[in-house]
Amino acid sequence: MNLTVYLYAVFLIAVKEIKGLKNYKFLSGNSNVDKVCAVNYRVFTKVGVSGTIECATECSETNGCDAIFFSSVNGSCIGCRKLTDLSSALVASTTNVFYQLVNENFLEWHYGKSRYFLDVSKTMNYSDAKVHCQLFGAHVVVPDSQDEQNFLIDRLSSTTDVSLTFMGIIDPTFTHAFLAEHSGTTVNYAYWAPGQPAGYDRLCTSMYLGHGWKWHNNDCYYSYHVVCEYE
């Protein structure tokens, strides 16, 4: 085989390797390793590595390593565990602004100072939804402006397999005097679908794809997706 052809073939294989690794590992050029790999998720540190592929290979051969940081400055190769759930992501993000959530079932969005999390693999009733969000120091989402609602519409509309999501807005007196449950404050912004809210016997609320993500009031025992809001 011609040497040039051989070297090009090796190059293509290497590129394919890197592309494949990017599905499960992050590759960053930030020299501050502590901002990339949270200490609790660091698996190994190796200096003198010649390149990203060698660093990735080292990771693949190390138990518990799911992500790498490679610095070409000193050949520093750092192996990390990937952040696979909301709790680990929130723990890591308290001190690491460059953390990465890798579990493909979890979506994270940013709007202003708020962060939103959605686990597309789970639906649950409202009681479980509250606990689910509280475990991460968050609450069930409460849109409080048209801008925030438009942001959520944009994100939810680009998410597959999600058509109904609970909101953290309740009607505790069954008089359509709606409150944000996490704060107990009156809800002043609303985005109700036509004919909604309906009835005076429904405690919970949701956003519904079929009506352009407008709001509905509903029973709490239904099983919907939940967006958690972390402020």
Domains of the chain plus CATH, in order, are 3-80 (no CATH), 105-230 (3.10.100.10)
Q: Summarize pLDDT for 181-217 with one digit per residue, the tens.
A: 999 999 999 999 999 999 999 999 999 999 999 999 9
Residue 155: DSSP 8-state: H
Which whole number is the average pLDDT over 110-125?
A: 90
Tokens of 69: 């940081």
String of DSSP letters for 61-122: TSTT--EEEEETTTTEEEEE--B-SHHHHHHHHTT-TT--B--TTEEEEEETTEEEEEETT-
Tokens of 133: 């969000």
User: Contact 80/66 with Cβ under 8 angstroms?
Assistant: yes
pTM over 0.85: no
Return the pLDDT at 58: 86
Which whole number is the average pLDDT over 57-74?
A: 81
The angle, 0 to 180 degrees and rounded to 10, between the axes of the packed helices 52-60 and 3-21 is: 60
